[in-house]
Amino acid sequence: MSFVNAFTIIFCLAGAVFFLAGTVGLLRFPDIFSRLHALTKADNLGLGLIVIGLLFQVDSFSTGLKMLFIWSLALAAGSNACYAIGRYAFLRTPREKTREASE
């Protein structure tokens, strides 16, 4: 088991753990804002780890670049989606509920 494979396995496993955490957060957290929080944070990090893990397996430099590019796109898209949903939810919930949530 060469060093590279071991390195990939470790990082991919770490990534998988973060994904798992994100999903558990999604199921367990009470309201929409905390779920959003869990999902975007954990999944983006998990994806980053997996991408780094796989960078070593890649055969050509351009594919590696492409994977990093995909990761950055995913980051941008994820955060924007979270912002949009959060904003939509915020505008919809009545006044006192948000105050009580912010205490």
Partner 1 sequence: MTLLDQVFDIVVCLLLLVLAWRTLSATHLYQSAIFFIAFGLTMALAWVRLAAPDVALAEAAIGAGLLGVLLVDSLRVFARPPETGRDSEPNKPESRDNDVTTSRRRPQFNSAVASVTAGAGCLFLAYVLVAAIHDLPDGGGLTAQAAENLSRSGVEHPVTAVLLNFRGFDTWLEVGVLFLAMLGIFCAGGLVGFSETENPDPPGPLLSWLIRGLAPVMILTAAYLLWLGKLAPGGAFQAGILLAAVGILLRLAGIPLMDRVPRTVIKLGLTFGFGTFLVFGIIALLADKAFLEYPSEWAGEVILLVEAAAAISIGFTAFAFFAYLNSRDQSTGNGDTAGQPRETNPSQ
Please report, as ranges, the residues that interact with partner 1 according to CB under 8 A: 76, 80, 83-84, 87-88, 91
In the complex with partner 1, the residue whose CB is nearer, 14 or 75, is 75
- Minimum gap (Å) between residue 77 Cβ and partner 1: 8
- Minimum gap (Å) between residue 7 Cβ and partner 1: 21
Cβ partners under 8 Å of residue 67, min gap 6: 51, 54, 55, 58
DSSP letter at 57?
T
In the complex with partner 1, the residue whose CB is nearer, 1 or 100, is 1
Cβ partners under 8 Å of residue 79, min gap 6: 40, 44
> What does the alpha-carbon distance between residue 14 and residue 89 come to, in Å, rounded to a whole number?
32
- Minimum gap (Å) between residue 79 Cβ and partner 1: 8
In the complex with partner 1, the residue whose CB is nearer, 10 or 88, is 88
